[in-house]
Amino acid sequence: MNNNNSTTLLHRFLHWEANRPDAIYLTQPVAGQVHEYSWRQVGDQARRMATYLAALQLPAGSSIAILGKNSAHWIMADLAIWMAGHVSVPLYPTMNADTLRYIVDHADIRLLFLGRMEPGSSIQQMLPAEVPVIALPLAPEGDYRQWEEVCAANDPLQDILLPDPDQLATIIYTSGTTGTPKGVMHSFGSMHAYASLAGGDFIQLGPDDRLLSYLPLAHAAERSSVESNSLCHGVQVFFNDTLETFTQDLCRARPSMFISMPRLWTKFYQAICTRLPAEQQALLASPCEAGAALRKQVLVMLGLDCTRIAFTGSAPLPLEIVNWYRNLGLELLEVYGMSENFCYSHYSRPGQVRVGYVGQALPGVRCRLSEDGEVLVDCATRMLGYYRQPALTAESMTADGYFKTGDRGVLDEEGRLKITGRVKELFKTDKGKYVAPVPIENRIAHRWVEAVCVTGPGQPAPFALLMLSPEGRDSLADTHARHQLQCELDTLRERLNLDLEAHERLGYVVVVNDLWSIENGFLTPTLKIKRDVIESRYLGQAGQWLASGRTVIFE
């Protein structure tokens, strides 16, 4: 099975370990201190752990889980699993007990690496007693075998069985906005193909580049953009310590490539708007020398002054915010993809951005639309299938091998793709007319609105649920500010309705009390709204909201 002429991420790691042994690969902040690991040091620890895993004599290709927040040792554990000939199964540290139990059973997990957790996490009480646990450095205290202890007791593995490209490398369980998680199987070939196509040919990453790792490594977005790109192209990776140190960690990394979700780009924008007085905000848009200096200062404040390429994905970003960043000199490029295609299949090109479109297919990616407008994709990064679900795998593919994304879209004359919603996301009002919520949500932009859900099945008209930013929520205590927000939201609703079809027009908007988060299940780990959870929480109040006759409602 072994083919030494194959190229996989493990091959690429061995290349950097041999050719840049003393260059720093991973930079981990810990309680105000910074720990750095060279390619040689990463290799030494991963090889020692691989020796231990090999000695367990598990069946080849056994599933080994990594549960924890991003860290240097998360990547070392992944490398050790591969070096020992096994399959890594990344798990979200925010998952609940039922999901954890399901994945452990479904994937037949043989061993689990436990990593960093949020303070107060109850995940340790959920760990199945029958699964051996090895604690990574920074893991919560417990009666587990320790990474350092295992490494100290084992010599580095020298005879690494290099995998074939078509060999299973990882099973990524989808966070999912609905339903039971599906185990997306990716080969060594699909993981390397993404890094080669996107990070190499398109972005042109190299050893002088820097990345910040903060989105969950259990998700294909971070696994592809950070882990795979760093291993393939020798890029240095910096890790985020805590939410409170995010700005400090970002300024330390000063990444040359940065990818984020609309919610974080919005938070950056809101933070700057809050910090700068009105006259300075006006100066940001001025072409004068003082305006240019302030724009550069803002990028330094954000830690993005060295960022030569910046991406936004997962959901569209309002035009107002896109233009704000472009005015700063940061051309945000939209991207699109799914876990099944190892994340991104489409990228906007610098200088070819069309706002609202997610760009063109990467080289080697084939995209077309079905008769009903569903986006179909075929590429070298496509999954092997859903783990132990052959019927679902077959259902997700066309007869000629294209993956059915479940997204509806349109293509322009340049081949740029615009996502217009989910195939199954349409809802019908009581007038019998279908409404696509996503395009409406994408047009609701306000400095204090952090997340939006447009809904209204069976109602006379759609309505929008709005979750405010912390600053917006705090402002509600002031009567004048509350009234001002009410007027602004009503004006926003009226302007939006002017451009919508009659059956799409919003009857009212609701400012919700709840804070939608990953922890309470309203958001996925990549900060997408869970529409079914949100609708089950709020739709029961739609009747009384409608009866109130108000167009802006504070829950």
Distance CA 509, CA 467 (A): 11
Give percent of the chain with pLDDT exceeding 90. Answer: 65
Average pLDDT over residues 509-538: 88
Per-residue tokens: 388: 């132990």
Domain membership of residue 245 (yes or no) is no
240 with 211: CB under 8 angstroms?
no
Domain membership of residue 252 (yes or no) is no
Domain membership of residue 250 (yes or no) is no
**pLDDT of 1 above 50:** no
Q: What is the pLDDT of residues 296-318, one digit of tens each?
A: 999 999 999 999 999 987 666 77
Distance CA 448, CA 358 (A): 25
**Burial track 57-68 (b if 16+ CB lie within 10 A, e otherwise):** ebeeebbbbbbb
Average pLDDT over residues 462-490: 92
Closest by alpha carbon to 438, among 332, 325, 318? 318
Q: Same structural domain for residues 202 and 119?
A: yes
Centre a 10 Å sphere on the Cβ of residue 114 and count the other Cβ atoms it contains: 24
**Burial track 295-322 (b if 16+ CB lie within 10 A, e otherwise):** beebbebbbbbebebbbbbbbbbbeebb
* 179 confidence band (pLDDT: 50, 70, 90): low
Residues 6+ apart with CB under 8 A from 149: none
Average pLDDT over residues 342-360: 88
Closest by alpha carbon to 449, among 217, 263, 237? 263
552 with 486: CB under 8 angstroms?
yes
Q: Based on the structure, what is the number of domains in the chain? A: 3
Q: Same structural domain for residues 114 and 195?
A: yes
Instruction: Please say which residue of 239, 265, 282 terminates a domain.
Output: 239
**pLDDT of 178 above 60:** no
pLDDT at 342: 92
Domain membership of residue 249 (yes or no) is no
pLDDT at 86: 98
Give percent of the chain with pLDDT exceeding 70. Answer: 97
Taking each helix axis as running N to C, give the angle between helix 262-275 and helix 319-328, from 0 to 180 degrees, rounded to the nearest 10.
Answer: 70
Domain CATH number, residue 453? 3.30.300.30
**pLDDT of 430 above 90:** no
Domain CATH number, residue 114? 3.40.50.980
* 97 confidence band (pLDDT: 50, 70, 90): confident
**pLDDT of 7 above 90:** no
CA 73 to chain centre: 20
Q: Same structural domain for residues 191 and 321?
A: no
Instruction: Please say which residue of 402, 422, 442 terminates a domain.
Output: 422
Q: Same structural domain for residues 78 and 223?
A: yes
Residues 6+ apart with CB under 8 A from 488: 446
Q: Same structural domain for residues 399 and 451?
A: no
Residues 6+ apart with CB under 8 A from 391: none
Instruction: Please say which residue of 381, 407, 422 terminates a domain.
Output: 422
**Burial track 11-21 (b if 16+ CB lie within 10 A, e otherwise):** bbbbebbeeee
Domain membership of residue 2 (yes or no) is no
Q: Write a three-state SS string for 264-305.
A: HHHHHHHHHHHHCCHHHHHHHCCCCHHHHHHHHHHHHHHCCC
Q: Same structural domain for residues 221 and 270?
A: no
Q: Same structural domain for residues 203 and 339?
A: no
Q: Same structural domain for residues 523 and 498?
A: yes
- Residue 151 DSSP label: H
Q: What is the pLDDT of residues 212-259, one digit of tens each?
A: 999 999 999 899 999 999 999 999 999 999 888 998 999 999 999 999
Scan for tokens 């004048």, then name that residue.
Answer: 480
User: Which residue range is the domain that position 218 belongs to?
Assistant: 9-239
Average pLDDT over residues 385-392: 96
* 175 confidence band (pLDDT: 50, 70, 90): low
Longest dimension (CA), the chain: 73
pLDDT at 5: 41
Per-residue tokens: 300: 């330094």
Distance CA 397, CA 377 (A): 9
For the chain, how big is the Rg over CA atoms in Å?
A: 24
Distance CA 334, CA 531 (A): 22
Scan for tokens 């002054």, then name that residue.
Answer: 305
Domain membership of residue 192 (yes or no) is yes
Q: Same structural domain for residues 287 and 418?
A: yes
Domain membership of residue 376 (yes or no) is yes
Q: What is the mean pLDDT of the chain?
A: 91
User: Strand, coil or helix: what is 459?
Assistant: coil
Q: Give the range among 183-197, 268-282, 406-420 with minimum mean pLDDT.
A: 268-282
Closest by alpha carbon to 417, among 453, 366, 380, 457? 366
Helices assigned H by DSSP within 71-182: 72-83, 97-106, 123-126, 147-152
Q: What is the pTM of this model?
A: 0.83
Pick 466 or 32 by higher pLDDT.
466
Q: Same structural domain for residues 485 and 404?
A: no
320 with 266: CB under 8 angstroms?
no
**pLDDT of 364 above 70:** yes
pLDDT at 176: 52
Q: Same structural domain for residues 332 and 455?
A: no
Q: Phi-psi region for residue 459, left (φ > 0), alpha (ψ -120 to 50) or beta?
A: beta
pLDDT at 2: 36
Per-residue tokens: 191: 């993981």
φ and ψ at residue 42, rounded to 5 degrees? -60, -45
Domain membership of residue 3 (yes or no) is no
Q: What is the pLDDT of residues 180-202, one digit of tens each?
A: 789 999 999 999 998 887 777 67
**Burial track 202-231 (b if 16+ CB lie within 10 A, e otherwise):** ebebeeebbbbbbbbbbbbbbbbbbbbbbb
**pLDDT of 93 above 60:** yes
Distance CA 58, CA 80 (A): 14
φ and ψ at residue 511, rounded to 5 degrees? -90, 115
Per-residue tokens: 534: 């949100």
Q: Same structural domain for residues 442 and 412?
A: no
**pLDDT of 550 above 60:** yes
Average pLDDT over residues 52-73: 97
Domain CATH number, residue 313? 3.40.50.12780
